[in-house]
Structure 1
């Protein structure tokens, strides 16, 4: 199995993102917007609201940021991504565990995933089997796109994020390993200025759509 490539030094992060046609700023703005939406929930919201709004606002802001750069919104079988202008890179968003954003950690998605996520991971692995060095997107005529995940995690003091390329899921359907991890760093949070609503049942939408016979 290929070793995980981890980019955490600023110059490495900038180069890895540039290869994908990105910079860190729109990604971090999306992560921040999701967090602010989460903490604006109150006790009168539904129990699942905090997690859903966190996920949805991160996705929406990422799309707002990238569509002006020529990226395209895609919602295929309720699996929501943003697709690069050349069609070779897609990005989904997901909450991650406390190892998110740590170069020394082994992050996993906080929520279990569905069959559509399994499909895109399989496509990632197939492409990486063809190109066993830096995970450059293959020539368009030869490849499906690679699907990255904008992974985010917030605790009482920090908001952490990374853009990472998933290659496997565990027996509980959490993404648990990555071919490439681009560490986006952390943003300090005011522990007295906001609280994290509980419980966290917010979804990462991924629904298996069955066609009627």
Structure 2
């Protein structure tokens, strides 16, 4: 099955098939952004990025829980599980052409941080389960081991222009970065544009003036 990029009306329709709305994604990104922007240079380096990752997943879970979604932290992958048990979603930082329709399906969009064996197996399972297009199947109620479920990535990227995001299905990685996708869902509406949403700058170590310590030598006694 050929890779496909859903945009505009098609993106909204595909989200609907997955039991989602554009606002579900917006709320997750907004939650991560709000938490990350509380960080300052006084925080530990990288704290803004960690806060964004954790809170975007938490916000998504809180929003979807009343709709019957569950969640799992197995293998330190923060997954939110569709009520049907047919797939999961995890928010992950991305790099490259995240949220850009012109990006190809291999190499242009990738995870920002290197991933370990757990994610590698997850992506491999996604590939093996194709050409099944994971969709919401409300009639399926049997419990399934979370590590056997297809997992979509809610990718987000911070830049001077703001935040970009997309919901995509990973199927391959090269080296330690996931960089190949079977489906990409890109919404036209992005309420996170503008320098105020640039989370990346909060994780940059500010230039520090060298500290000069005066040393005085005492004369011989």
Assess same fold via TM > 0.5.
yes
Q: CA offsets, 1:155-191, max 9 Å, x none?
A: 12232111100000112x1110100000134224342
How far apart, CA to CA, are the structure 1 residues paired with 2:7 and 2:197? 29
How far apart, CA to CA, are the structure 1 residues paired with 2:196 and 2:55? 23
Deviation at 1:19, TM superposition (A): 1.1
2:78 corresponds to which residue?
Answer: 80
Change (3 A) 1:174 1:191: same
Q: Is the 8 A contact 1:124 1:146 kept in 2?
A: yes
Contiguous gaps of at least 5 residues in structure 1: 201-213
Which of 37, 47, 62 is matched with 2:35 structurally? 37
Q: Is the 8 A contact 1:100 1:151 kept in 2?
A: yes
How far apart, CA to CA, are the structure 2 residues paired with 1:193 and 1:100? 15
Contiguous gaps of at least 5 residues in structure 2: 206-221
- 59-68 or 191-200, which deviates more: 191-200
SS in 2 for 1:108: strand
2:55 corresponds to which residue?
Answer: 57
TM-score (norm 2): 0.79
Q: Is the 8 A contact 1:28 1:161 kept in 2?
A: no
Larger Cα-atom Rg: 2
Which of 192, 198, 203 is matched with 2:203 structurally? 198
How far apart, CA to CA, are the structure 1 residues paired with 2:130 and 2:64? 25
Deviation at 1:135, TM superposition (A): 4.8
SS in 2 for 1:187: coil
How far apart, CA to CA, are the structure 2 residues paired with 1:58 and 1:193? 14
SS in 2 for 1:153: strand
1:211 corresponds to which residue?
Answer: none
Q: Alignment length, in residue pairs?
A: 193
Change (3 A) 1:194 1:12: closer
> What is the root-mean-square deviation in Å for CA atoms of aligned residues?
2.3
User: Are 1:6 and 2:9 counterparts?
Assistant: no
- 28-37 or 186-195, which deviates more: 186-195
User: Are 1:159 and 2:158 counterparts?
Assistant: no
Q: Is the 8 A contact 1:156 1:189 kept in 2?
A: no
User: Are 1:147 and 2:147 counterparts?
Assistant: no
SS in 1 for 2:202: coil
